[in-house]
């Protein structure tokens, strides 16, 4: 009797770009794609699955218990906070993620935000469309601040592949990168700058660290008060690293000059949420978690996602996190 084909369920396929091609699997299989899956739908959709493909849908112990055939949770992402890793380990379920696919796209998005804010690109564009150039009656006008990156200090929180690449790009602009030491003072790079000194020196602070109990709320009222009034905060990592209410108050008081944000909690944020109110400020840019989403990066992620499933099916799982 022939073996049953491997049943693969993609719970949130619409999180990938519509022009992304998912390569066919080489083994007998049945692939079911759902554009999105609500929390109450997850267990039923995984009931017969051998493999779950998932980006942000939560898979906890209850969902695993409802899926007796589940052997692999293949994440279409690097982050693993939506999967209960301990529960997976206890049940012998392999969890694999995709790493380093965003080493070009996230740093480029980071610098898009930095440049737009340092040069006031959005306020200038809005003023041109409103007729300000004609009203100025001269070749140029200077309504909004403009500052070069050359000579500025780039403060990077997190020295993994993304933080290191951001530092490399910063050097190419003539910036001086510094890396933040952990608040606890333990571990990290030998050249890391103590956190209070880091805050005082940085002209731009860019976040590239995971969200952990140690980093939750890393930037709040005290940290903003310690920063330069001309400094920018850029967060393309995790929303929980920043106290949004404290950020709004810091901007209102002029304790920092602006912020570029690509993450929120929850996502999408409610229309009346603090971060949406913050986004109406001229010195704030909020983008919808697209720093990772270049055409090249997402296709690379999809290719590695398929490779992780192929490796698991061959009995040699790769990129295991559980």
Which residues are known to be catalytic?
Answer: 238, 267, 289
* Contact of 85 with 322, CB cutoff 8 Å: yes
SS3 track for the chain: CCCCCEEEEECCHHHCCCCCCCCCCCCCEEEEECCCCCHHHHHHHHCCCCEEEECCCCECHHHHHCCCCCCEEEECCCCCCCECHHHHHHCCCEEECCCCCCCCHHHHHHHHHHHHHHCCHHHHHHHHHCCHHHHHCCCCCCCCCCCCCCCCEEEEECCCHHHHHHHHHHHHCCCEEEEECCCCCCCCCCCCECHHHHHHHCCEEEECCCCCCCCCCCECHHHHHHCCCCCEEEECCCHHHECHHHHHHHHHHCCCCEEEECCCCCCCCCCCCHHHHHCCCCCEEECCCCCCCCHHHHHHHHHHHHHHHHHHHCCCCCCECC
């Amino acid at each position: 009797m022939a073996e049953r084909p491997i049943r693969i369920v993609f719970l949130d396929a619409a999180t990938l770009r519509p022009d992304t091609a998912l390569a066919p699997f080489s083994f007998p299989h049945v692939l079911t794609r759902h554009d999105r899956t609500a929390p109450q739908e997850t267990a039923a959709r995984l009931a017969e699955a051998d493999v779950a493909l998932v980006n942000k849908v939560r898979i906890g112990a209850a969902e695993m218990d409802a899926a007796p055939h589940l052997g692999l949770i293949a994440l279409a992402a690097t982050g693993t906070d939506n999967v209960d890793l301990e529960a997976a380990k206890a049940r012998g379920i392999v969890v694999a993620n995709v790493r380093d696919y965003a080493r070009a796209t996230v740093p480029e998005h980071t610098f898009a935000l930095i440049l737009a804010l340092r040069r006031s690109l959005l306020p200038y564009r809005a003023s041109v469309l409103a007729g300000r150039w004609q009203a100025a009656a001269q070749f140029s006008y200077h309504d909004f601040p403009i500052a070069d990156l050359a000579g500025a200090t780039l403060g990077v929180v997190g020295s993994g592949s993304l933080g290191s690449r951001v530092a490399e790009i910063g050097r190419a602009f003539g910036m001086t990168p510094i890396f933040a030491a952990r608040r606890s003072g333990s571990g990290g790079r030998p050249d890391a700058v103590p956190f209070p000194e880091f805050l005082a020196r940085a002209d731009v602070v860019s976040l590239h660290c995971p969200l952990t109990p140690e980093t939750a709320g890393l930037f709040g009222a005290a940290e903003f008060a310690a920063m330069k009034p001309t400094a920018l905060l850029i967060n393309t990592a995790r929303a929980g690293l920043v106290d949004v209410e404290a950020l709004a108050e810091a901007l209102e008081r002029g304790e920092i000059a602006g912020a570029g944000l690509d993450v929120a909690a929850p996502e999408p944020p409610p229309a009346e949420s603090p971060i949406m109110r913050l986004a109406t400020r001229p010195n704030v840019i909020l983008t919808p978690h697209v720093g990772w989403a270049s055409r090249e990066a997402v296709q690379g992620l999809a290719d590695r996602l398929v490779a992780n499933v192929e490796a698991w099916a061959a009995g040699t799982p790769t990129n295991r996190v559980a």
